[in-house]
Structure 1
């Protein structure tokens, strides 16, 4: 598999296990160099507390797990490896759109899009994740989000 796909699968695994893990510390982890993983997002609640991880897929959207919606995310922080050093330019308000089939983690479809309130400003500290190319044609299908009304996601 390609490295980008590995990263996506690892992120999905980590966000799925995050709610079920004992404790909140990283055990035997290593600090990621500042020039790596420039796509990572901190999904945060209204008290600006980290509740989940996510990743930037383009200037408008972050992908995270649908179970993160339980923490009522209101913003994401992009472009930093240190959540103790955040300025207002790094925080983006979000609108949430969970997968319409999501019920709970063990039933699958545990994915959610977060639409940024404004386009992310890409720079040397912030870049979208490189997604693998596919030859599969995907049919466009409307997704219903309660905050947008029937058959619309944005």
Structure 2
């Protein structure tokens, strides 16, 4: 007969998956921190730069909303990135009060590609999976996310 202490010492079927998901998150965090150190960027500046690279001509309000910071904070952040030569501000031709922010660095080229290197590596690994395995993994992750979101609502 199994005692309660025996059952707690044997791993649950999902514990390996849970550990793998935590390890993935930690590996991604470590890779992002290393890339930011290499580029001498703080986390917010790096997130803003990636957003602007993915959304050329974004307005400062879009950057602000994406990052969840104040208007004053986004102005200071963009000033830093402009000074750094990573982005430029362009005035809107129709409304001179509006700026558009565009990345001036190529996030697909060194050293800037370090910001996306981990995710690019994951994408390459996913591309190497057979379609059935990739679909099963995607379905499992969607289920886990939906379950957590549902629990958070209650």
Name the structure, 1 or 2, with higher relative contact order (CA <8 Å, separation 6+). Answer: 1
Report the TM-score, using the length of structure 1 for normalisation.
0.28
Higher helix proportion (structure 1 or 2): 2
Report the TM-score, using the length of structure 2 for normalisation.
0.28
Which structure has the bigger radius of gyration?
Answer: 2
